[in-house]
Amino acid sequence: MIDFHAHILPRIDDGSQSVEESIAMLESMKAQGIKKVIATPHFLANHESVSSFVERRNASLERLRETMPDLPEIAPGAEVKYYDGISHLPDLKKLRIENSKLLLLEMPFSAWSEYTVKEVADIAGRGKITLVLAHIERYLPMQSSAVLYRLLEHGVLFQSNASFFLSCFTRHKALRMLKNHQIHFLGSDAHNMTDRAPNTAKAVAIIQKKCGEAFADDFITYGNELFLQHTLT
Ligand SMILES: [Fe+2]
């Protein structure tokens, strides 16, 4: 299984603050059945250039790999913060997950303007990048379902955090979206081993309990295959 969203790299953002903490997070993920983790440190275009970010991220990953025993595979990516005009960012493509067309995009926590929706659809329409909206559940209260359907029709994919399935207030909605194929990837959005620890296994257990083991297995297989489909050859 893939953990699609994790702040696993040491000392690069508000996630792991040491190699030791990263290894503890990865060990927890391994125990939860995670085989591949997408490392998604925050990227903010108003703070840093793409090349500087990629350099820092790769150095952090190398530090971790030097000491890493038999742990899940890590694919470097980014959690890219959306801003109006992001489609013009030089090197946006370099923020895709390594060897894939997938790019994790954090959207504004407000009602999206027509400009924003068109810009996201435009990036998706170019065919070079497949956008995956990070923690889709956080935007739901502020968007119409028509906007979400529009983006799905343009090939935009949705990632949900495991926590969407864990809260009794949101679980019903999470399961409904899953059954309607509106959640494509699951992520822990783990930042540490305390208040934002890896937790995908708990969400999988909920899906198994509410939808059956075969459904949960199919969802995991679907995520793996979707990732492979977007791998660059
Ligand atoms: Fe995140």
35 Ramachandran zone, left/alpha/beta (phi>0; psi -120 to 50): alpha
Give pLDDT tens digits for 97-153.
Answer: 999 999 999 999 999 999 999 999 999 999 899 999 999 999 999 999 999 999 999
Distance CA 7, CA 12 (A): 9
Distance of CA 133 to the CA centre of its chain: 7
- Å from CA of 135 to ligand 1 middle: 8
| Ion ligand 1: residues, Cβ under 5 Å | 79, 189
Which pLDDT tens digit goes with each residue over 20-48? 999 999 999 999 999 999 999 999 999 99
Which structure tokens are listed for 26? Answer: 């990865």
**How many whole angstroms from 181 Cα to the centroid of ligand 1?**
22
Domains in the chain (CATH in brackets) are 2-229 (3.20.20.140)
H/E stretch holding 131 reads strand 130-133
CA distance 229 to 194: 34
- The pTM (predicted TM-score) of the whole model is 0.97
Q: How many angstroms separate the alpha carbon of residue 41 from the centre of ligand 1?
A: 7
